[in-house]
Structures are given as structure tokens and as C-alpha cells.
Amino acid sequence: MKIILILSVTILTGVAAQAELSKDEAKTMGAKLWAEHQAAIRKERSAEMDSKVIQINEHTFRFESKKYGKKPDRGWDLFISMHGGGGTTAEMNDSQWKNQIRLGDAYKPKNAIYVAPRAPTDTWNLWHQGHIDELLDRLIENFLNLEDVNPNRVYLMGYSAGGDGVYQLAPRMADRLAGAAMMAGHPNDASPLGLRNIAFAIHVGEADRSYKRNTVAADWGKQLDALQKSDADGYANQVQVHKGKGHWMDLDDKVAVPWLQRFSRNPLPQKVIWRQDDVVHERFYWLALPPGSEKKGQLAVATIGGQTIRIEKTEEINTLLIRLNDDMLDLDHPVKVFASDGSELFAGKVARSEELAKHTLKTRGDQQLMFFGEIEISLEAEKGK
């Protein structure tokens, strides 16, 4: 798809515009909003952290956690480790959960909190249904605010059915993560495109032939290598098919843990590749969509450098929101947005808005993904060659 016609460009649509803030006012306001947000989360959610139970609508999300090492000055690393099982009895899935808790002593991440949640259902796709994203978001936000976890040091991992979940969740939740490790799972219909800005490990046994886990893992390794070859700054990966091992790899997969801890999240990457899965999101890093316009299969590729943003490619998107703050560029100076063919989509200053900052903090709960400026670009797309 390529952009061929700009219908309109507006600033801060969908969010009530206010008097423009200066850079210093925005900085002060951002610190105030974040302090208020942290205080509210600590007050409202301390009980669910003490009980180790998160309840959202009909879904109950239990978890256990353990700390390894000492808390660094930068805050704890956080590992979320998803158990296997799937379409079986609750008792069997409970057993798999207990095993995943015990695996913390084998994986033993350095200076980290290891969290093993219990999936809220006992279905085959227990780790990649739509409610999981919201539950994991809440779990992460709780640990950021109540356990002093570093927001740029969050890692997702899972074994067997939990590995299925990693394949699915990591691309669509990449803006939350520094990295993810898939152990002995299957991707089903997942796409690796969204993994551009995180580290991704794949570990599977050579003899793990059920659902072709071994050959599919090798194929994903080839896909990731090809993506990295064409995009040298992205798609860091570690793919190992362990010789002589079956579904259980005798902990050979634990090498993924120290490898992941070499990486930190960049919350504002210069390039974003966003492919919508069947569970859709309204935002991804500094890109977003108007509420209600999300659908499976949408694609947006955008880059930022200096005061210039380029929309390299879109598919099935009529309106794209570009969200900005002063960590990305200087909002005191004009910003330009170009299409991939070089046509200018927008040129001008973007006002800082307190209302947008409140909105993005409320919906994201991440200080580093709080935005003060927004450009809304409506466009018509047509299939290109």
C-alpha cells in the first residue's frame, strides 16, 4: 500500500485542545502527572499485589513472584514467565503453573523479579486471547509502581503453551518489553514484524516434532535473520534448535535469560513497524489509531530523525496518529512529515497539550510513553506494485 492523497491534517483532534504549554511547563506538568499517577496506583492496587490476584471483569489472574539478587540503582529487572498446559484440566494447568514457578530457581535471572502467573482459562490458547494483553499490562504496571521495576527492563518468557503465547504476545506488546524468550512453543498465525525493537530468543528441541515446533522455529529464525539483514538496527535474535533434545530441553534453554538481560527497551525508537494481530491495539510506541478504527492486518511503518518523520508504508489505515514529546524532537520548532514517495504530509509546529499527556498516561501507565503533541493525518491508500 502507498499513500497517494492527503485528505486533511489536523493537530490534537480527538483530544480537547488547551492553551499551548512551553517546554519547561510540559516538563513540570509531566513530573506532576507521573507523581500523581504513581500515588494513585500504589493506593488502589496494593491490595491486589498483596493478595497476588488481579481481577478484570470475569478473568482472575493469580501470580507468584520471587526476587533474585539485589535491586540495582536503576530498579529491578522483571521476568514474566508463562506456564505450559493449555487445553486440559484445571488440575493439569495448576501443575504446569507450579512447575513454572519452580523454574525460577533454574533460570535465576540476575538482580530481577521472576513472576509466574496462572492463566485465567484452561483453553488451548490460554496465553494469547484478548484479555491476556490487558492483564499483563496491569501486572507490569503494578510491578513498576509497587516494586520499583525498571520500565525498560521487562522481559516475557514462556514454555510450551506459554511459548505459544510469547510468539503471539511479544510482537503486539513489544512497546512494553526489552525482550522475550520463546521455549518449545508454536506461533500459529503470529507475525515477527513487530519484534523490530526488542530482543527475541527462540529455543526448541531438535526432536520436538509435535505441531512441527522444531521446523517452525528454524523457519522463524530464517525470517528474523532476513529482517535483520534488511534492517541492521533491528530484530536482535537468538535462535537455537537444541541437538538431541525433545519437548523438554533439560534447561539448555536457560541461556536465553542472560542473553535477554543484555538488552534494554528503547521506548522511543527511530523506526516503528506495527502489524496488527487478531487482538488489536490502539497504540504502539509513538504511533496510534483513532479509537474504533483498529482491525487485524493493519500495517504502519514510520521513522523519525531530527525534526522529520517519514511514513514509509501503510496498509488498511485511513487515519494515523503520530504522538510526540520533547525526548523525540524539539516541539519548539517546526516538524515535517513525509510519505514514502517524498510528498509532504505536514509541516508546522505541534502544540504541547496537558490533556493529551493525561490521556496517554492514563491509557499507558508509562512515564516514558507520555506524549504532549499529536499530529493526525487522514489519508487515502491504494495498493502499490
Question: Over the stretch 333-355, which tens digit does the pLDDT of each residue have?
Answer: 999 999 999 999 999 999 999 99
Contact (Cβ atoms closer than 8 angstroms) between residue 234 and residue 196: yes
Q: What CATH number did the domain enclosing 75 receive?
A: 3.40.50.1820
Stated pTM of the model:
0.93
Q: How many domains does the chain have?
A: 2
Phi/psi for 250 (5° steps) reads 55, 35
Specify whether 181 is located in the same domain as 319.
no
Specify whether 198 is located in the same domain as 291.
no
Say if 53 falls within a structural domain.
Answer: no
Please give the span between the terminal C-alpha atoms of the chain, in angstroms, as a whole number.
Answer: 8
Domain of 151, in residue numbers: 59-260
Identity of residue 311: I
Say if 48 falls within a structural domain.
Answer: no
Specify whether 255 is located in the same domain as 145.
yes
Specify whether 161 is located in the same domain as 272.
no
Domain end marker among 227, 260, 293:
260
Phi/psi for 163 (5° steps) reads -65, -35
Go through the chain and tell me how many residues it has.
385
Specify whether 233 is located in the same domain as 173.
yes
Say if 54 falls within a structural domain.
Answer: no
| Over residues 356-371, mean pLDDT | 96
Say if 98 falls within a structural domain.
Answer: yes
Confidence of residue 227 (pLDDT cuts 50, 70, 90): very high
Specify whether 155 is located in the same domain as 275.
no
- Mapping DSSP onto H, E and C, the string for 179-245 reads EEEEECCCCCCCCCHHHHHCEEEEEEECCCCHHHHHHHHHHHHHHHHHHHHHCCCCCCEEEEEECCC
Say if 47 falls within a structural domain.
Answer: no
Q: Which three cell numbers stand for residue 213?
A: 515446533
In the chain, where does DSSP find H-type helix? 23-51, 90-107, 130-146, 161-172, 213-230, 256-260, 354-364
Question: Over the stretch 278-313, which tens digit does the pLDDT of each residue have?
Answer: 999 999 999 999 999 999 999 999 999 999 999 999
| Over residues 121-130, mean pLDDT | 96
Specify whether 205 is located in the same domain as 311.
no
Specify whether 244 is located in the same domain as 180.
yes
